Amino acid sequence: MDITNATLKGREGHWDIRIDDGVFGAVVPAGQHAAHADDSESFDAAGRLVVPPFVDAHIHLDYAGTEGLTRRNESGTLFEATQIRAEQKERGLITFDQVYDNALAAARLAVSKGTGFIRSQVDTTEDDLTSLKALLQLREDVKDWVQIQVVAFPQNTVLSYPNGRELLEQAVAMGVDAVGGVPHLEATREDGVASLEYIFDLAEKYGVAIDVHCDEIDDKQSGFIEVMAALASQRRLDVSVTASHAVAMAYYAEGYMAKLVPNLLAADIHFAICPTENLHLQGRNMVPAPRGVAPIKRLTEAGLNVAFGQDSIADPFYPVGEGNLLRILEAGLHVGHMLTGQHLDQALDFITTHGARNLGIEDHYGIEEGKPAHCIVLDCTTDQEAVQHQAAVLCSVHHGRTVFTRRPESYETRMDGFASS
């Protein structure tokens, strides 16, 4: 197939993109190459922006659609959400079919909004690892239209949950892409450190990436991020290391940040930030209410890799997610004080290239000859317009095949004074 008349980031003019056997071929100035003989699959971008598909760097697909399954989260806190999730499990409501069907629906919703790559955390504090089995099956079943990475995530801790260590290793051995943790929820700081050491041990033993829920708490004394940085520097594993959420960083004193940031850079720690989720969950009962989101601008300007994620699609933690990363991006730019020209011009990086780096797929990601042909056509011409207009995704291509097309939004005017001339 071909995509014709595309606007591409960093290039002047319009371009035709050839796709052969699922791989990008030549990218040439518009109109300069011969169309395929059977060119029924050609898509005319008509000058619109074509970018690689969005990357959701952090979501919990296994929780999708469980908001209100037992009861709703009335306090809006992370602690009540965690309690509700535990109740859902105790009442036997979390079954293979329930997780699979809801996660599939969530993946379809996210892909319809332009996502092509998802890193999903999956709870391993289940005695039979039901959710993990469902997500591993789903990862395989949907690979023609979305690439899912699975993170073994011990929601109810590694050390306090019965057999938590064994369950986490069992999960990793089943073929996940990354191992996670929740050090700030362990019983003591010492347990949190021990859990991180264990997570790094598992990553080394099984050769998987690390993606830890780190310091997702309104507590400036929660400093597991420095432990992650120290372990990453000491162990020097050949895997990516990501700190997810990292909201306590919003409360750190400048003196501590001055020490911490160089250590994060030296350790090449990546960040997965969930702006809408943490705006909702953090700062409850605090006056004045803090923003409760990791310092996106500070981290970005220091040269650290920051990607965004949806985190939740209608679950006890956050009731209104729909997998739309442009909404997440808009919220992240607002809470990060980043509606400046410099950041708006590259805004899509937070949900494209930065996410690809977190997932370790950057070598196979991007519109370049020889790379797998994954791309989307946005109904806009710049990053700033994409944010301003929440640009619709008009075409999605995965492995060189069209996943869907969508017509641009239109409406009929009925009043003379309203209609444009």
Smallest distance, Å, CB 112 to Fe ion?
22
Q: Which is nearer to Fe ion, 120 or 147 (CB)?
A: 120
Q: What is the largest CA-CA distance in the chain?
A: 70
- With beta carbons less than 8 A apart as the criterion, state whether 381 and 99 touch: no
**Half-sphere exposure of residue 59, counting CA atoms within 13 Å on the CB side?**
33
Whole-angstrom CA distances from 92 to 10, 65, 121, 139, 166 are 52, 16, 20, 24, 22
| Residue least distant from Fe ion (Cβ) | 311
Show the site string, 305-334: x = touches Fe ion by CB under 5 A, - = not.
Answer: ------x-----------------------
- With beta carbons less than 8 A apart as the criterion, state whether 60 and 315 touch: yes
Cis peptide leading into 154, omega within 30 of 0? no
Q: Measure the CA–CA gap between 309 and 352, rounded to whole angstroms.
A: 11
Q: Which is nearer to Fe ion, 16 or 311 (CB)?
A: 311
Q: Measure the CA–CA gap between 65 and 188, rounded to whole angstroms.
A: 32
Amino acid at site 163: N
Which one of the listed residues 216, 226, 368, 412 is annotated catalytic?
A: 216
For residue 42, what is the DSSP state?
-
Q: Which is nearer to Fe ion, 80 or 311 (CB)?
A: 311
Q: Is 169 among the residues known to form the active site?
A: no
Q: Which is nearer to Fe ion, 215 or 311 (CB)?
A: 311
- With beta carbons less than 8 A apart as the criterion, state whether 299 and 336 touch: no
Q: Which is nearer to Fe ion, 62 or 383 (CB)?
A: 62
Residue 213: φ, ψ to 5°: -65, 110
Whole-angstrom CA distances from 229 to 125, 237, 325 are 25, 12, 28
Q: Which helix (H) or strand (E) holds 355?
A: helix 353-359
- With beta carbons less than 8 A apart as the criterion, state whether 233 and 263 touch: yes
Smallest distance, Å, CB 121 to Fe ion?
6
β-strands 269-273, 15-20: how paired?
Answer: unpaired
Judged by CB under 5 A, the chain residues 273 through 312 that form the site for Fe ion are 311
Number of residues that bind Fe ion (CB under 5 A): 1
Q: Which is nearer to Fe ion, 312 or 324 (CB)?
A: 312
Residue 16: φ, ψ to 5°: -105, 135
Q: Measure the CA–CA gap between 151 and 58, rounded to whole angstroms.
A: 9
For residue 177, what is the DSSP state?
S
Q: Using alpha carbons only, what angle is made at residue 20 by residues 17 and 23, rounded to the nearest 5 degrees?
A: 80
For residue 174, what is the DSSP state?
T
Smallest distance, Å, CB 84 to Fe ion?
15
Residue positions annotated with a catalytic role: 216
Q: Which residues bind Fe ion (CB under 5 A)?
A: 311
